[in-house]
A and B are shown apart, each in its own frame.
Chain A
Amino acid sequence: MSTDSTTAEAGGDRKGEVILQMRGLRIEGRADEEWHEIVHGVDVVLRRGEVLGLIGESGAGKSTIGLAAMGFSRDGCRISGGTVMFDGVDLTKASDEELRRYHGSRIAYVAQSAAASFNPAHKLIDQYCEAPTQHGIQPRREAEAEAIDLYRRLQLPDPENIGFRYPHQVSGGQLQRAMTAMAMACRPDLIVFDEPTTALDVTTQIEVLSAIKGIVEQFDTAAIYITHDLAVVSQMADRIMVLRYGNLVEEGYTRQMIQDPQKDYTRDLLAVRSFRKPPINEENPEIPLVKVDNVTAAYGKLVVLKGVSMEIHKKRTVAVVGESGSGKSTTARVITGLLPPLEGEIQYDGQTLPRDYRKRNKDELRRLQMIYQMADTAINPRQRVADIIGRPLEFYLGLRGDEKEQRVRDLLEMIELDPDQFYARLPGELSGGQKQRVCIARALAAEPEMIICDEVTSALDQLVAEEILKLLQRLQDELGLAYMFITHDIATVRAIADEIYVMLQGEVVENGPKQDVLSPPHHEYTELLLSSVPEMDPDWLEGLLERRAAGTAPSLPGSGN
């Protein structure tokens, strides 16, 4: 306890002093037996007690820069130019021995996947105590006492005992906080947070964010916070650097940047969730296109759906929202017939569909198509675009030869890809968004009436995701498709849904038209879900935590679990 107050004071005394300065940082990555530059001369300055947000889409080089701040580069990468001055020492020229002295004691790292980054063979507290004892900062007994204190400050449940568990015995959100505690162990001057909440559900994310924010403020630690989510970073950071393709786009203080972005790219990132589908004013017809009737389903003995009912009408978008494990994707599997239900049935246009897809006829299969989350695994990497899109045409509609080629080209036009360029490409030659477009085209080729979209935008960068949403909307307007849109992202729901089903632990807890579900009064869980979505307001997190503490906003049952 004594050490932390002294460090905090020391930090306080020297506040404003530059702790890290990277100049003209260049990093190269190895691919195809050659070195390619991936970070092209970036300057970063960080003062004591300051939190710097690094933001960018995939391929921006933000994680690489974060690691470079520690003088570290992963296998297959190397720092090829520039300096990394940490407290007066150039880490790029430091020996391994010197770097080792800094790592863990003065600069610490919090990884994205806590589950993989904790050693499965040791208890949490043993892994905590390693850095302080190995760096000779404090004896084991003191380190243990401090670990428990940090666990308490990070709002972990049962702080006295949680450290004596093994990593696999603790949940993801808790592990991420335990890792933050571990990084804090030696009271470092700088912590690098590498997307610490990306793998977590929104409601868990809130807790980890508030814990990290709290602890960084308490100890006045400087931090680099890396994320792809501008809303998240605006809660955490004092200053933000926007990166793209290994270059700096814009740098500024958080409030200033959010209110008055200077560059187009930043403006795009800020405006990313502004797309809204115009409301539909027609009444729903009597018979729904697809009706899920009181379905119960299980994987083996594990019941994952309990009496779920849904109706999806023609030309409507039904959003199914919930966190991981809520049963939303399972519902889709039941509708497609991949998982035959134990009870209940699926009706299509008033007719009962066979439970198992293998019993359905070609036409029943054709009318119901599916688009997946990971476009990478949803299209065969060994087939060309023309074959991927052409196969349903041949299989369902019997098109061949020139007729087929013409139709493939039409479909490519429809999804806004140039047929001449993309017709003969392999998936490996496409970007993530283009792959997802090909998946959409494959679904469209079957001339379906309904498409199930399973988290189709969540693996994509935000700007690309927005384009896909707009495309899907245009196709719905043109072709009169019905969508079942499965997502965990409320922003996506706001953008595209007509009706919403909220799912929790295999049950539908609330449903209705978008405006009804999204405006109060809410079901308790819906409220929690809605309030947990970060907003582009730097005061949002504090406000929410205050309201939750005051009991005016719902919090996770048994908060801290």
Chain B
Amino acid sequence: MSMTSLSGGAFSGQSSPWASRIAVAAVHFFLMVLFLQNTGADTWASIGGFLFIHLYSVLVLAYWSKMERTAAGDTLIVTLMLEYVVMVLLFWDDFRSWPWSTFFGLVMVQVVAFAAVTYWKELRQAPPTAWFGLIVIMLYIMIAATAPIIAPFGETEIVGSEYEEWGEEYLLGTDNLGRDMLTRIVYGARNTVGIAFVTTVLAFVIGGLCGLLAATMRGWTDEVMSRIVDILMAIPSLIFGLLLLTIFGTSVLSLIIVIALLDSTRVYRLARAVAMNVVVMEFVEAARLRGEGLWWIIRHEILPNIMPPLVAEFGLRFCFVFLFISALSFLGLGIQPPTADWGSMVRDNATLITFGEPTPLIPAGAIALLTVGVNFVVDWFLHKASGLKE
């Protein structure tokens, strides 16, 4: 959050590329130090290395700023990944003590920050709702990334008696087993959001790929796949999900696979429909007549033209999956204890509501807040994408 407010408030106007890049690098640096300190590593020895790395990345940025925006963005992400590899190798001993997910989360924070810098021009015109959404998403990513650092207790640690009230020691009280509520909520960001994210990605890989293939190949491939999807979609997904989970059991892996498969039918429909609109264009016909292969056509002619609707759909699908998993967890059939998860936290502590305590509303609200945020961003994105067409 500090990142967005920094680049938002201090730098506007023409000077922004350099200034905001340095700002982002500085924030990055500051975070690194913070994390290293908290993980008890030999911080000060590492700082020199970090400085070096950041000097280098700012130089790279300066060089790429001459390039086309998207190309620079893509290249930057790749560079950042490389940068992390270098860091891991250089500071292996420090990093070894980190959970891998913290590491992954840091990469995400960086990517988001740099995306914010590269798309600054668009962002500045974004409506307040979109800003709200972006800040919420950033906040969630940072909480998820740094959960072990932020959380006062361990994820499954029983720290007190059951249902303790809000107070100094347990900010939000304790749950039905005497675990710290705040800790569980912080870890829930990681578990619930992470699982939903992975599921959505999987659904997109499966559904998107099949949809693109169906649209490009047409003929019986399309016919067969579309009929199968029609039938699978004839069963409401929550019901189908319940049936499949009864059979395969409720492990996280089967949860991810079942929901990803169910959701990939929706992705398939959309990917096929939007790809179909592009496939009938004459530039695709021209590519076919040139003798280009299927993959070349998909990669170079179709995919770049359907990215905006697919990106928007990713946001919407994520919300759907996220709510879906939460609903399942709430029903006791999703993410299983003792893993901290918002849906099951609502279920486990629901009795508090009847005593007039709002605590269970917090995890439920956390779910709602993120979906609202993502929906706001997607709405803005769709509005922009459709505005460009007119």
**Is A386's CB within 8 Å of the partner chain B?**
no
Which chain B positions have C-beta within 8 A of A77? none
Interface flag for B45 (CB, 8 Å): no
Q: Are B282 and A372 in contact (CB under 8 A)?
A: yes
Residue in A closest to B304 when the chains form the complex, CB atoms: A382
Q: Are B290 and A379 within 8 A (Cβ)?
A: no
Across the interface, which residues of A come within 8 angstroms of B292, CB to CB?
395
- How far, in angstroms, from A374 to B288 measured CA to CA in the complex? 17
**CB closest chain-A residue, reference B302:** A380
Instruction: Decide if B300 is an interface residue (CB 8 Å cutoff).
Output: yes
A446 CA to B287 CA, complexed, in Å: 12
Task: Give 24 pairs: A residue, B residue, CB < 8 Å, sorted on A.
Answer: A33-B125, A76-B390, A336-B289, A338-B285, A338-B288, A338-B289, A357-B288, A360-B291, A362-B291, A365-B289, A370-B286, A372-B286, A377-B282, A378-B286, A380-B283, A380-B301, A381-B305, A382-B304, A382-B305, A383-B300, A383-B304, A395-B290, A395-B292, A442-B286
Interface centre among B125, B281, B301 (most CB of A within 10 A): B281
Q: Is A392 an interface residue (CB 8 A)?
A: yes
The 8 closest A-B pairs by CB, nearest first: A382-B304, A378-B282, A380-B283, A372-B282, A377-B281, A365-B291, A377-B282, A362-B291
Shortest C-beta distance, B287 to chain A (Å), equals: 8
Across-interface contacts of B288 in A (CB, < 8 A): 338, 357
Beyond A365-B289, A380-B305, whether A374 also contacts B282 by CB under 8 A is yes
Q: Decide if A392 touches B305 in the complex (CB within 8 Å).
A: no
> Beta-carbon contacts of B293-309 to A below 8 Å, as 1s and 0s?
00000001100110000
Query: With the chains together, A374 CA to B280 CA distance in Å?
Result: 13
Chain A residues with CB under 8 Å of B285's CB are 338
Q: Provide the bound-state CA to CA distance between A392 and B125, in Å.
A: 40
Q: Is the CB of A357 within 8 A of B289?
A: yes
The answer to whether B282 and A395 have CB atoms under 8 Å apart is no
Residues from chain B with Cβ under 8 Å of A338 in the complex:
285, 288-289
Closest to A336 in B: B289
CB distance from B178 to the nearest CB of A (A): 55
* A76 nearest CB neighbor, chain B only: B390
CB-contact partner of A392 in B283, B290, B301, B304, under 8 A: B290
What per-residue 1/0 map shows which CB atoms of A276-293 lie under 8 Å from chain B?
000000000000000000
Q: Separation in Å of the A3 CB from the closest CB of chain B?
A: 43
Q: How far is the CA of A392 from the CA of B291 in the complex (A)?
A: 10
Q: How far is the CA of A379 from the CA of B287 in the complex (A)?
A: 10
| Nearest CB in chain A: distance from B245 CB, A | 41
Closest chain A CB from B36 CB (angstroms): 42
* B261-298 interface code vs A (CB 8 A; 1 in, 0 out): 00000000000000000000111011011111000000
**Cα of A544 to Cα of B218 in the assembled complex, Å:** 50
A557, chain B: closest CB distance, angstroms: 34
**How far apart sit A33 and B124, CA to CA, in the bound complex (Å)?**
13
Contacts of B289 in A (CB 8 A): 336-338, 357, 365, 370
What are the interface flags for B142-186 relative to A under an 8 Å C-beta threshold, 1 for contact and 0 otherwise?
000000000000000000000000000000000000000000000
Q: Are B290 and A365 in contact (CB under 8 A)?
A: yes
The interface bits of chain B over 10-38 (1 if a CB of A lies within 8 angstroms of the residue's CB, else 0) are 00000000000000000000000000000
Does A378 contact B125, Cβ atoms closer than 8 Å? no
Interface residues on B, range: 10 to 19
A379 to B304, CA, bound (A): 13
Nearest CB of B to A427, in Å: 9
In the assembled complex, the CB of A420 is this many whole angstroms from the nearest CB of chain B, namely 17
Q: Mark B304-321, 1 if CB is under 8 A from A, else 0.
A: 110000000000000000
Q: Which of B125, B283, B285, B304 has the most CB of A within 10 A?
A: B283
Q: What residue in chain B is nearest A369 (Cβ atoms)?
A: B289
Residues in chain B near residue A337, CB distance under 8 A: 289
- Least CB distance from B304 to A in Å reads 4
Segment 356-402 of A: residues with Cβ below 8 Å from B: 357, 360, 362, 365, 370, 372, 374, 377-383, 391-392, 395-396
Contact between A380 and B304 (Cβ–Cβ < 8 Å)?
yes
Across the interface, name the chain A residue whose C-beta is closest to B278. Answer: A380
Query: How long is the Cα–Cα vector from A225 to B339 in the complex, in angstroms?
Result: 74
Say how far A398's CB is from chain B's closest CB, in angstroms. 14
B87 to chain A, nearest CB (A): 35
User: Residue on B with the closest CB to A375?
Assistant: B282
- CA separation between A336 and B285, bound complex, in Å? 11
**Chain A min CB distance to B84 (Å):** 30
A377 and B283: CB pair below 8 A?
yes
CB distance from B46 to the nearest CB of A (A): 42
Closest to B305 in A: A382
**Most B Cβ at <10 Å: residue of A370, A382, A392:** A382
- By beta carbon, the residue of chain B nearest A368 is B289
> Smallest CB–CB gap between A408 and chain B, Å?
16
- Among B125, B290, B305, chain A packs the most CB atoms within 10 A around the CB of B290
Is A378 within 8 A of B290, CB to CB?
no
Which residues of the partner chain B approach A446 to less than 8 Å between Cβ atoms?
290
Chain B residues whose CB sits within 8 angstroms of the CB of A382 once the complex forms: 304-305
A484 to chain B, nearest CB (A): 14
Given contacts A336-B289, A378-B286, 19 further A-B contacts (CB under 8 A): A76-B390, A338-B288, A338-B289, A360-B291, A365-B289, A365-B290, A372-B286, A374-B282, A377-B281, A379-B283, A380-B300, A380-B301, A381-B305, A382-B305, A383-B300, A391-B290, A395-B291, A396-B290, A442-B286
What A residues does B305 contact at CB under 8 A? 380-382
Bound-complex Cα distance A337 to B290 (A): 12
CA A510 to CA B361, docked complex, whole Å: 81
Bound-complex Cα distance A381 to B306 (A): 11
Output the least CB separation between B305 and chain A (Å).
6
Task: Write out the residue numbers on chain B whose beta carbons fall within 8 Å of the beta carbon of A378.
Answer: 281-283, 286
In whole angstroms, how far apart are the Cα atoms of A348 and B289 in the complex? 16
C-alpha gap A332/B290 in the complex (Å): 15
Give the residues in chain A near B282, CB-CB below 8 Å. 372, 374, 377-378
CA of A392 to CA of B186, assembled, Å? 55
Task: Give B337 Cβ to nearest chain A Cβ, in Å.
Answer: 48
Whole-angstrom distance between the Cβ of B350 and the nearest chain A Cβ = 47
In the bound complex, residues from chain B placing their C-beta under 8 Å from that of A374 are 282
The chain A residue sitting closest to B303, CB to CB, is: A382
Minimum CB distance partner of B281 in chain A: A377
Q: When chains A and B are docked, how far (Å) is the Cα of A443 from the Cα of B281?
A: 17
Which residue of the partner chain B has the closest CB to A75?
Answer: B390
Q: Could you tell me the distance between the alpha carbons of A378 and B289 in the complex, rounded to whole angstroms?
A: 12
The 0/1 profile, CB within 8 Å of B marked 1, for residues 508-534 of chain A is: 000000000000000000000000000
Which residue of the partner chain A has the closest CB to B301?
A: A380
CA A382 to CA B301, docked complex, whole Å = 8
Chain A residue at smallest Cβ distance from B306: A382
Contacts of A33 in B (CB 8 A): 125
The CA of A442 and the CA of B390, in the complex, are separated in Å by 27
* Alpha-carbon separation in the docked complex, A391 to B299 (Å): 14
Write the chain B residue with the least CB distance to A387: B300
Which residues of B sit under 8 angstroms from A383, Cβ to Cβ?
Answer: 300, 304
Chain A minimum-CB-distance residue to B286: A378
Shortest beta-carbon distance, B66 to chain A, in Å? 13
**Once the chains are docked, how many angstroms separate the CA of A378 from the CA of B290?**
13
Using CB atoms, name the residue of chain B closest to A428.
Answer: B388
Shortest Cβ distance from B383 into chain A, in angstroms?
11
A399 to chain B, nearest CB (A): 15
Q: Give per-residue flags for A36-56: 1 if the beta carbon is below 8 A from chain B beta carbons, else 0.
A: 000000000000000000000
Complex: A395 Cα to B297 Cα, angstroms: 13
Least Cβ distance of B308 to chain A in Å?
11
The chain A residue with its CB closest to the CB of B280 is: A377
B283: chain A residues at CB < 8 Å are 377-380
Which residues of chain B are within 8 angstroms of A379 by Cβ–Cβ distance?
283
Q: Give Cα distance in the complex from A442 to B125, angstroms.
A: 38
- State A328–B70 Cα separation when bound (angstroms): 42
Within the complex, the shortest CB–CB distance from B292 to chain A, in Å, comes to 7
Alpha-carbon gap, A544 to B300, bound state (A): 53
Q: How far is the CA of A395 from the CA of B290 in the complex (A)?
A: 8
Q: B102 to chain A: closest CB distance in Å?
A: 37
* Distance in angstroms between the alpha carbons of A370 and B281 in the assembled complex: 14
Q: How near does chain B come to A425, taking the closest CB pair, in angstroms? A: 12
**Residues from chain A with Cβ under 8 Å of B281 in the complex:** 377-378
